[in-house]
């Protein structure tokens, strides 16, 4: 079974590229982020003609997530229990709007074998800057996601879960092309706070008050072949210079991690006119589709 995650940066602009990735990698499931459209605007027809089902979530031309599957698409859920919303604030921190739960998470059960997989397509908020309300929103989003998944696994430790997408975190110094540039000039993606909430997915919870429950998850893509990075900005010739970042990952529950076989980064997808600034990350499992 092959499952890929990809921040496509507009599905309407890159539907043909998505179809090409499905064919080239013989994918069973493709998890998309930053689709930038409402569900009714999603170009589902060519995917359905190719034998895939589509589930999408989106509120406007921003954010948006989707799941494309040829091995079933059941129990679709938009968002996760406790998912926080984002509210605009003034300079003093007073709310200027009611919190809005953005289209950043979608789940579905895939697989036609005896046991399916709950796959999540996730688009974690960008923190923007250290003092921006988006930074606090990002940390809270990740904390609540970890708590929600931990609760599910505490109730059913054998559940097969994959959390994959654009995490907007570079958990190791080698995940960015120049760590000093990011620490001194950018300040996001590599902060201790962001790394701590990301790495919490790889730790077991105690289930005590103030702590999440459930077993540790396993990040699958660290040893992926094909490239060191999954994102190259459009500006300043970042791709030709290989000034990239590794911010797209997949976390698996223990039961699913035991079936993991290999991971690949499709660097070639960043080439040519009209490419997304991210590339697909493919995960292979020794499991019946």
Residue ranges for the known binding site are: 7, 34, 166, 168, 277-278
Neighbour tally for 209: CB within 10 Å: 5
- DSSP assignment, residue 273? T
Of 176, 283, 188, 149, the residue nearest 230 (C-alpha): 176
192 is catalytic: no
Name the residue among 49, 54, 50, 73 with its Cα closest to residue 11.
Answer: 54
Close Cβ partners of 133 (under 8 Å, ≥ 6 residues apart) = 86, 87, 88, 89, 93
Choice among 166, 175, 248, 266 that is catalytic: 166
> What are residue 288's DSSP bridge partners?
none
DSSP 125: P
Tokens of 17: 């590229």
Residue 277 sits at the vertex; the CA angle it makes with 231 and 257, to the nearest 5 degrees, is 45
Identify whether 166 is a catalytic site residue.
yes
Choosing from 28, 118, 123, 137, the catalytic residue is 123
Annotation says 229 is catalytic: no
Binding residues for Mg(2+): 7, 34, 166, 168, 277-278
Supply the residues annotated as catalytic. Answer: 123, 166, 278
């Amino acid at each position: 079974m092959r499952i890929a995650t990809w921040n496509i940066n507009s599905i309407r602009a890159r539907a043909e590229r998505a179809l090409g990735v499905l064919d080239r990698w013989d994918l069973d499931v493709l998890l998309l982020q930053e689709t930038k459209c409402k569900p009714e605007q999603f170009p589902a027809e060519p995917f359905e003609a190719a034998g895939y089902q589509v589930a999408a979530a989106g509120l406007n031309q921003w954010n948006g997530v989707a799941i494309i599957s040829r091995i079933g698409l059941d129990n679709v859920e938009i968002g996760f229990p406790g998912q926080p919303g984002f509210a605009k604030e003034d300079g003093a921190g007073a709310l200027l709007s009611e919190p809005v739960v953005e289209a950043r998470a979608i789940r579905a059960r895939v697989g036609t074998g005896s046991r399916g997989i709950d796959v999540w397509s996730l688009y974690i908020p960008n923190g923007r800057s250290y003092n921006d309300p988006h930074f606090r929103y990002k940390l809270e989003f990740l904390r609540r996601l970890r708590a929600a998944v931990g609760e599910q696994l505490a109730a059913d430790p054998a559940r097969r879960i994959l959390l994959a997408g654009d995490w907007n975190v570079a958990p190791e110094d080698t995940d960015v092309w120049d760590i000093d540039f990011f620490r001194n000039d950018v300040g996001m993606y590599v902060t201790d706070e962001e790394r701590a909430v990301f790495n919490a997915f790889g730790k077991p919870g105690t289930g005590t008050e103030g702590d999440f429950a459930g077993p540790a998850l396993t990040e699958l893509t660290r040893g992926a072949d094909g490239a060191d990075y999954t994102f190259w900005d459009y500006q300043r010739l970042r791709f030709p210079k290989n000034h990239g970042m590794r911010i797209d990952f997949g976390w698996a529950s223990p039961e699913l991690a035991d079936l993991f076989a290999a991971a690949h980064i499709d660097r070639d997808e960043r080439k040519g006119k009209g490419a997304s600034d991210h590339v697909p990350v493919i995960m292979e499992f020794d499991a019946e589709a």
